[in-house]
Amino acid sequence: MQRTGAVRLGELLNQYIDEVRIRDGFVSLDVCGAWRAAVGPRAAAATAYACFKQGVLYCTITSSIIRNQLYFNLEGLKSDINARLGSPLVRRIILR
């Protein structure tokens, strides 16, 4: 038996992810992980919910004090998250 048309495993996984249409879920996980890394452990613990849809990161913060501190640094956080991701995926951050 001889191999024909060998494909790298990474390429095969990318094709499968595109075929099954789950890439958006992976991007959302990456953005939410970058959020937790950008805000630090205290604000990450106060984040009850984080969801990324169509360039907008929605975050529910349980502490009004932490939400207020984050609100004044939204542009810096957006830049930090995009730098961690390596591309400008996050266009806007909404805190609730």
Question: Count of CB atoms within 10 A of residue 52's CB?
Answer: 23
Domain encompassing residue 43: 9-95
Q: pTM for the whole thing?
A: 0.81
**CA–CA dist 55, 43 (Å, integer):** 21
- Residues 23-66 have pLDDT tens digits of 778 888 899 999 999 999 999 999 999 999 999 999 999 999 99
Does the residue 3 lie in any domain? no
- Residue 33: count of CB within 10 angstroms of its CB: 15
Query: Exposed, middle or buried: residue 10 (CB in 10 Å: 0-12, 13-18, 19+)?
Result: exposed
4 in any annotated domain: no
CB-based contact 70:77 (threshold 8 Å): yes
